[in-house]
Chains A and B, each alone.
Chain A
Amino acid sequence: MRNLIAFLRRFQIFLVFASLQIISLVIYVQFLSFPRSQYLTTASNVTAKVLTWENDVTKHFDLSKNNYALQRENIRLRERLPEFMYTLSAGKVKVDDTIFKQQYTYIPGMVINSSVTRRNNYFTLNIGSKQGVRTNMGVFSDKGVVGIVHNISEHYCVVKSVLTKDINIDVIIEPIHLAGILKWDGHDPRRGSIDGISNDLRIKRWSRVVTRGGSGIFPKGIPVGKVERIESIEGEPLWNVVVRYSEDYRTLQRVYVVKNLMIEEQQALEGQIPPDEEEDILR
């Protein structure tokens, strides 16, 4: 016992150092994959308030650009209204309006804090569980996909953006519907890459990349970007497809959170599939 106390006293500085390191690294690793509380993130009330004050000043820097983007989106939507179209046929048209049921609704939000140069970048929005935001909801802007809700509090939420390590959004390359997974390597906030596309397929440059909508987080067809170049990976039969994002994340302000009204039905159905044990062994 006395030896133990002597040992502890001798190495107490190193032991304190090691325990503090372990605490902080454990918090880091845990919160990267699954945040257990809102208090260590910008979703907490105090932090988000301070960041809102800060944003009240800095939001004006990109205001004209963002207003223009919203105006363009309005034009795009207005062009679809029947009042703005010229009727070609004079005959009556029968509309069957029960074949569509609404699956997605959108909650508007504003980015109050963002970063783009770290390895894992998160955006803080000024909407939270009171407005109906839940974790694992998709977030997009008028120009492109933004990310997935990571952590929520009553009035704020933190979004894991496409500029993070394990974002893994399923996307398709448009004209031929090639499915892949969106990744980010941490270098350039304007470019990402798509994983898992076999290199016997031919991909045209500047073909559009949109979300696949398979997991029910995003609706189908939200733009992600365009294919900028295609590189071969050494030793693997895969392409590394470099995507140029259509959204400029450095000046992002107005976003929409996707609320899938049928997500529970889909998850309950998919939960019945038994986990594949062989796949786990192979991994």
Chain B
Amino acid sequence: MNNLTKNIIRFIVFVVLQTIVFNQLEIGYGFHLMIHPLFIMLLPFELGVISLMGLAFLMGIIIDIFSNTYGLHASSLVLMAYLRPIIFKFYGPREGYDPLKEPNVFDMGNRWFTYVFGILLLAHHFWYFLVEIFQFNQFFFILQKTIFSAVPSFLICLLLQSFLIKKSKSK
């Protein structure tokens, strides 16, 4: 299976999982599980930032259509795609990334993944709730929603990777 078909299948799987399963789980107290940022995270290293943002916009709009948020997911996913190369550069090894590897938790290690994906997920969630609520006297409510949603989303993304990704054979 080459890279393109793999990513197309992943795109569909993430959209279906997010819209049909995770959008319907409404726990309350500000928990709002969003796992589709993981798709943007798992795209290959060598993909340019403009195509990253294009894919993010497309995926965001599709999820928006299913959840009546009219461009909110698109906006926050595009922000995440824009930040991805910057954060990658910041935490990257000195000789650059190995193009054969994939930015998942098995190839890159727990520590790297927690830092990079944690920051990206927090930025995504913070932007999402900031635009959604858009009242600055409710800033602590925005922060509460961000933390309460980002932490369980991160854990579920860790879990999902063990289902969706085959571990590379070198390990």
Stretch from A36-44, A64-72, A76-84 forming part of the interface with B: A36-44
Q: Closest residue of chain B to A58, judged by CB?
A: B24
Q: Which residues on B sit within 8 Å (CB–CB) of A51?
A: 66
Q: Closest residue of chain A to B133, judged by CB?
A: A119
Q: Which residues on A sit within 8 Å (CB–CB) of B79?
A: 17, 21
The answer to whether the Cβ of A189 comes within 8 Å of any Cβ in the partner chain is yes
Contact between chains at B66 and A118 (CB < 8 Å):
no
The answer to whether the Cβ of B75 comes within 8 Å of any Cβ in the partner chain is yes
The answer to whether the Cβ of B125 comes within 8 Å of any Cβ in the partner chain is no
Q: Which residues on B sit within 8 Å (CB–CB) of A256?
A: none
The answer to whether the Cβ of A47 comes within 8 Å of any Cβ in the partner chain is yes
Stretch from B56-64, B87-95, B102-110, B157-165 forming part of the interface with A: B56-64
Instruction: Identify B60's interface contact among A17, A24, A31, A124, CB under 8 A.
Output: A24
Contact with A along B54-80 (1 / 0, CB 8 A): 000100110011111111101100110
> SS class of chain B's interface: helix, strand, loop or mixed?
helix
Q: Closest residue of chain A to B68, judged by CB?
A: A122
Q: Which residues on B sit within 8 Å (CB–CB) of A186?
A: 133, 138, 141
Contact between chains at A27 and B68 (CB < 8 Å):
no
Contact between chains at B65 and A118 (CB < 8 Å):
no
The answer to whether the Cβ of A63 comes within 8 Å of any Cβ in the partner chain is no
Stretch from B6-14, B25-33, B38-46, B111-119 forming part of the interface with A: B25-33
Q: Which residues on B sit within 8 Å (CB–CB) of A117?
A: 26-28, 30-32
Q: Which of A4-60 contact B (CB under 8 A)?
A: 12-13, 16-17, 20-21, 23-28, 30-32, 35, 39-42, 44, 47, 50-51, 54, 58
The answer to whether the Cβ of B17 comes within 8 Å of any Cβ in the partner chain is no
B84, chain A: closest CB distance, angstroms: 11
Q: Which residues on B sit within 8 Å (CB–CB) of A255?
A: none
Complex Cα distance, B132 from A18, in Å, reads 18
The answer to whether the Cβ of B122 comes within 8 Å of any Cβ in the partner chain is no
The answer to whether the Cβ of A158 comes within 8 Å of any Cβ in the partner chain is yes
Instruction: Identify B53's interface contact among A20, A31, A189, CB under 8 A.
Output: A20
Contact with B along A89-130 (1 / 0, CB 8 A): 000000000000000000000000001111110101000000
Instruction: Identify B66's interface contact among A31, A32, A50, CB under 8 A.
Output: A50
Q: Which residues on A sit within 8 Å (CB–CB) of B20?
A: 50, 54
Interface size on A, residues (CB 8 A): 39
Contact between chains at A115 and B71 (CB < 8 Å):
no
The answer to whether the Cβ of B97 comes within 8 Å of any Cβ in the partner chain is no
Contact between chains at B71 and A31 (CB < 8 Å):
yes
Contact between chains at A32 and B50 (CB < 8 Å):
no
Q: Closest residue of chain A to B32, judged by CB?
A: A117
The answer to whether the Cβ of A220 comes within 8 Å of any Cβ in the partner chain is no
Contact between chains at A28 and B53 (CB < 8 Å):
no
Q: Closest residue of chain A to B74, judged by CB?
A: A24
Contact between chains at A40 and B70 (CB < 8 Å):
yes
The answer to whether the Cβ of A177 comes within 8 Å of any Cβ in the partner chain is no
Contact between chains at B71 and A13 (CB < 8 Å):
no
Contact between chains at A47 and B24 (CB < 8 Å):
no
Could you tell me which B residues sit within 8 Å of A by CB distance?
19-20, 23-24, 26-28, 30-32, 49-50, 53, 57, 60-61, 64-72, 74-75, 78-79, 82, 131-133, 138, 141
**Sample of 22 A–B contacts (CB below 8 Å):** A13-B82, A16-B53, A24-B61, A24-B72, A24-B74, A27-B71, A28-B69, A32-B70, A40-B61, A42-B67, A42-B68, A47-B66, A51-B66, A54-B20, A115-B23, A115-B67, A116-B26, A117-B31, A118-B67, A120-B132, A158-B68, A250-B26
